[in-house]
């Protein structure tokens, strides 16, 4: 009993398993959970993850401990294993799966960086700032925009954008800013749950083939409930009136709208390639990177003539400000946007993937799968996964589930995806969006300010799960109810 409890706690809360483009076939693993090497592997990862949690206090990048931990864990795997060919194949599989995810994310990050550099998000923020919305309108508008932008731009970028708007407009209104940030985190996480592009967890589920692209939209209504129910309750506590309007004008840089169109074309290419040709989504994203590179070449080559025309117009109008701006324009460089990607985050994913890939190969995830899905049942297991993701973070939790590859119905895969996507909203540290906003709105949005509204957010979480179960029953997408 004690051994089972140790395995469940250690693997469910500490092990963050490897990425899985998991096939339907069972994954071979070593039965080494009771060996010294097995215990050492869990201990090593627990220490590595503890260092990650203390990242801000230690001033140590989060990728460093997990990279070292991954190396040590696979060293132990190699020592325990008697079949080196099988061990090499297991490592290669995890590495290949991570490579697909990394390249997909790298292209998406490059496009987001390019749109930031072309001032797309700054332009949207300026538009909202100068409209002079009231407090309640601003609360709902930032939440709704976060909900609908995050399925395309990702929940982290969306949350930071909406937070910047609130900080600019409601300066000095500490309580209102905190409530808006909570609403934005919940909305961004909920919006990201019904799109493969909205969150890394949904992307992993899509790449693993557990849910097809259009099937993610079955989560739309539960996601709306998850966002809307807490927002409605919080509305009663929003102050009346409106902040002072601010005049701010932002001019988009040349090519901004066309880069947005190319990003949408890239998404279409990835989806169509996967849906109709059976190619992995990363295929379409890499083709999309080619789109951006060719367009960057066009922007560079046509820059002199474009500047000459604009300079002539500015000279005729004696617009010294415009002339000064034109003199500071630098050519668009796609590789600068590639360099601005979150490389520490990408390397952190590698460490997590390989660490828990090693733990999975040692046999821990198989035991956790038995405890969760066979012991509790698929529905309760999904509910628990959402709660765990609020503490551990939803990305490693989804890694774990995909590596376990439990035999559950299609509807339950959707339920797990929903739970992992929105469960992180329960705590400010439960999602990347929440952690980022604690930094962006430092002094206004804190762990405790979010915790005060956790019971309300929990109501939305439970309601969204029940709505999905009800829809699943009505549409008959669940094979088994647990």
What pLDDT shows up at residue 317?
A: 63
Residue found under tokens 């080559």? 301
* Residues ≥6 apart with Cβ < 8 Å to 302: none
What pLDDT shows up at residue 127?
A: 78
Residue found under tokens 């890394």? 200
**Is position 135 within any domain?**
yes
Token pair of 274 as six digits: 């996967």
Neighbours of 384 (CB within 10 A): 16
Q: Are 229 and 143 in contact (CB under 8 A)?
A: no
CA separation for the pair 301, 371 (Å, rounded): 61
**Is position 306 within any domain?**
no
CA separation for the pair 391, 395 (Å, rounded): 11
pLDDT in tens, the chain (482 residues): 333 333 333 333 333 333 333 333 344 667 877 889 889 998 998 898 788 767 667 878 878 888 999 999 999 998 888 888 888 988 988 888 788 878 887 888 788 788 888 888 778 777 776 777 788 888 999 999 999 988 887 777 788 778 888 887 777 788 888 999 999 999 999 998 888 877 778 888 888 888 888 888 889 999 999 999 999 999 999 888 777 666 667 778 888 899 989 988 998 898 888 778 888 888 888 999 999 999 988 888 888 887 777 667 656 666 656 545 544 456 777 778 777 767 877 787 788 778 878 888 888 777 777 777 777 788 888 888 888 888 766 777 787 788 778 888 888 889 999 998 899 899 887 777 887 787 778 778 888 889 899 999 999 999 999 999 888 776 665 544 44
CA separation for the pair 395, 235 (Å, rounded): 30
DSSP class of 28: P
**Is position 235 within any domain?**
yes
Q: Are 163 and 437 in contact (CB under 8 A)?
A: yes
Give the domain range for residue 240. 103-290+332-338
What pLDDT shows up at residue 24?
A: 34
CA separation for the pair 381, 384 (Å, rounded): 5
What pLDDT shows up at residue 314?
A: 59
What pLDDT shows up at residue 316?
A: 65
**Is position 354 within any domain?**
no
CA 198-111-188 angle, 5° bins:
25
Provide the number of structural domains found in the chain: 1
* Residues ≥6 apart with Cβ < 8 Å to 322: 310, 314
**Is position 190 within any domain?**
yes
**Is position 315 within any domain?**
no
**Is position 74 within any domain?**
no
**Is position 165 within any domain?**
yes
């Amino acid at each position: 009993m004690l051994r089972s409890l140790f395995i469940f706690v250690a693997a469910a809360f500490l092990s963050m398993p490897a990425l899985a483009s998991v096939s339907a076939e069972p994954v071979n693993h070593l039965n080494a959970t009771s060996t010294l090497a097995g215990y050492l592997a869990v201990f090593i990862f627990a220490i590595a993850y503890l260092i990650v949690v203390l990242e801000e206090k230690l001033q140590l990048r989060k990728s460093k401990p997990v990279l070292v931990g991954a190396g040590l864990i696979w060293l132990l795997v190699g020592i325990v294993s008697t079949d080196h060919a099988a061990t090499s194949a297991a490592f290669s599989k995890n590495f290949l799966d991570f490579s697909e995810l990394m390249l997909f994310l790298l292209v998406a990050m490059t496009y987001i960086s390019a749109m930031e550099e072309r001032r797309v998000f700054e332009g949207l923020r300026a538009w909202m700032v100068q409209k002079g919305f009231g407090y309640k309108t601003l609360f709902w508008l930032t939440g709704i925009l976060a909900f609908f932008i995050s399925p395309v731009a990702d929940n982290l970028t969306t949350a930071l954008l909406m937070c910047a708007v609130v900080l600019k407009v409601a300066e000095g209104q500490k309580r209102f800013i905190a409530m808006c940030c909570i609403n934005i985190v919940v909305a961004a996480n909920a919006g990201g749950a019904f799109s493969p592009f909205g969150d890394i967890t949904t992307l992993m589920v899509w790449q693993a083939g557990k849910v097809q692209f259009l099937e993610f939209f079955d989560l739309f209504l539960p996601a709306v409930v998850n966002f809307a129910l807490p927002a409605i309750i919080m509305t009663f506590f929003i102050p009346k009136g409106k902040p002072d309007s601010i005049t701010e004008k932002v001019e988009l840089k040349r090519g901004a709208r066309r880069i947005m169109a190319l990003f949408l074309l890239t998404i279409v290419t990835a989806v169509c390639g996967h849906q109709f040709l059976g190619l992995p989504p990363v295929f379409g994203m890499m083709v999309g990177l080619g789109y951006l590179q060719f367009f960057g070449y066009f922007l560079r080559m046509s820059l002199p003539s474009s500047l000459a025309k604009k300079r002539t117009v500015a000279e005729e109008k004696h617009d010294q400000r415009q002339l000064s701006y034109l003199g500071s324009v630098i050519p668009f460089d796609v590789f600068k946007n590639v360099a601005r990607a979150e490389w520490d985050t990408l390397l952190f994913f590698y460490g997590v993937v390989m660490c828990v890939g090693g733990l999975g190969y040692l046999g821990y995830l198989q035991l956790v799968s038995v405890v969760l899905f066979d012991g509790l049942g698929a529905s309760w297991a999904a509910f628990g996964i959402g709660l765990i993701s609020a503490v551990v973070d939803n990305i490693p939790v989804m890694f774990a589930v995909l590596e376990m590859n439990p035999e559950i119905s299609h509807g339950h895969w959707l339920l797990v995806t929903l739970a992992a996507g929105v469960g992180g909203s329960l705590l400010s540290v439960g999602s990347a969006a929440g952690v980022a906003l604690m930094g962006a709105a430092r002094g206004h949005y804190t762990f405790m300010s979010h915790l005060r509204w956790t019971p309300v957010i929990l109501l939305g979480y439970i309601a969204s799960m029940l709505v999905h179960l009800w829809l699943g029953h009505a549409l008959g997408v669940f094979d088994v109810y647990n």
